[in-house]
Amino acid sequence: MQVSSVTASSTHGVDQASTFMSPRNILILVAIAASLAYFAQGYVLFQATMVLAYAIALVGLNLLTGYNGQISLGHGAFFATGAYSLAILMNWDVPYWLAIPIAGAISMVAGYAFGRPALKLQGLYLALATFTLSVVLPQLLKYKLFQPWTGGVGGIVLIKPDAPFGIPLSSDQYCYLFTLLITVLMFLIARNLIDSGTGRAIRAIRDHQMAATSMGINHQHYKSMTFGVSAAFAGVGGALSALAVQFVSPDSFTMFLSISLLVGVVVGGIGTLWGAIFGAVFIMFVPELAEKLSKDSAWAVYGVILILLVFAMPKGVMGLINRLRVSTLVRN
């Protein structure tokens, strides 16, 4: 059964996304999530929308880091690329439903354009290179030359779209449900990618690049492509977040965002698909929680919670869940 795949890869959690839930359970989950639009209001709905947007970005980052073994401390930059692309496009009167995939495509190109020259960099060197991205982008966004497009330090204001076809939903509710739809779509794309031959190639490169190459896998192509796809996911997440916030500015996309995304991947579970949800919840709510616990040293509390979580679940939430599943399976 699936036990062998669960125990096989010890460092990377469950590689196959399909083992976690049956299609029926997933449908139930989505239905529950959708009903949130009815029960929750205003700020909570906004937070839920942001969680979904982050989750998409985390799926992207995990694709690169967990499944392909390339680290990125700069995914905030691709998140920002998506957000700003959306904002600029909508400023040019492109409808949101068209702007979002375009924003994703632009981010994909950006990711590929970065991934290709960075091919020879590994580990820490790649970490520095990607970190550079996250430092450079806010500067670029503030740069005077680009101001006509980016709005400079002031940023760009957006307006949430109304529900189409006169459906009786508030723009908040519509935005949430639309984001949910995109999230489901992106998860499906990711799952199909991971389970496909491409996905196997990507994982083979992570596990042993030299062996993969000797089997005929063009690691240069796959690694840069993974960067591109991963950036596309981050870009879509960023675009959706921009829609929810209705505002983009350089200061929303500092290196801190990139670090948060990495933390989210670790907390959720490296190399897992569903971990993205848990990671996104962590990114969204733990800083607020920390502030409630201690006004002055909120970040210290955040750090302590993070460290405790890593101690309790070194392989993330999904790692813990999988351990529990294995022990129940073994008992049966």
The token duo for 145 is: 């030359």
Tally DSSP H helices, then E strands, for the chain.
15, 2
Nearest approach in angstroms of CB 320 to other proteins is 12
- Tell me, what amino acid is at 87? A
Residues whose CB falls within 8 Å of the CB of residue 37, separated by 6 or more in sequence, listed in order: 45, 169, 173, 176, 177
Say whether residue 57 binds other proteins (CB under 8 A).
Answer: no
How far is it between the farthest Cα atoms of the chain?
Answer: 65
The three-class DSSP label of residue 248 is strand
**Residue choice 128, 159, 181, 188 for contact with other proteins (CB under 8 A):** 128
Residue identified by tokens 């599943």 is 325
Nearest approach in angstroms of CB 118 to other proteins is 7
Q: Which of residues 71-90 bind other proteins (CB under 8 A)?
A: 71
Residue among 36 and 304 whose Cβ is closer to other proteins: 304
**Residue choice 139, 327, 328, 332 for contact with other proteins (CB under 8 A):** 139
Say whether residue 320 binds other proteins (CB under 8 A).
Answer: no
**Residue choice 315, 317, 318, 321 for contact with other proteins (CB under 8 A):** 315
**Residue choice 120, 144, 292, 331 for contact with other proteins (CB under 8 A):** 120
Nearest approach in angstroms of CB 249 to other proteins is 17
The token duo for 169 is: 């939903």
First to last CA, the chain: 13
Say whether residue 118 binds other proteins (CB under 8 A).
Answer: yes
The three-class DSSP label of residue 53 is helix
Task: Give the contact letters, 254-283, x = binds to other proteins (CB under 8 A), - = no.
Answer: -----x--xx-xxx--x-------------
For 153-187, give the DSSP string: GG-EE--PPPPGGG-S--HHHHHHHHHHHHHHHHH
Residues whose CB falls within 8 Å of the CB of residue 75, separated by 6 or more in sequence, listed in order: 57, 60, 61, 64, 130, 134, 230, 231, 234, 258, 261, 262
Using the contact rule CB under 8 A, the part of the chain among 33-41, 150-158, 177-185, 306-314 near other proteins is 306-314
Say whether residue 121 binds other proteins (CB under 8 A).
Answer: yes
Residue among 95 and 314 whose Cβ is closer to other proteins: 314
How many residues sit in the footprint of other proteins (CB under 8 A)? 43
Q: Which residues sit at the interface with other proteins, rule CB under 8 A? A: 11-12, 65, 71, 117-118, 120-122, 124-125, 128-129, 131-132, 135-136, 139, 210-211, 259, 262-263, 265-267, 270, 296-304, 306-307, 310-311, 314-316
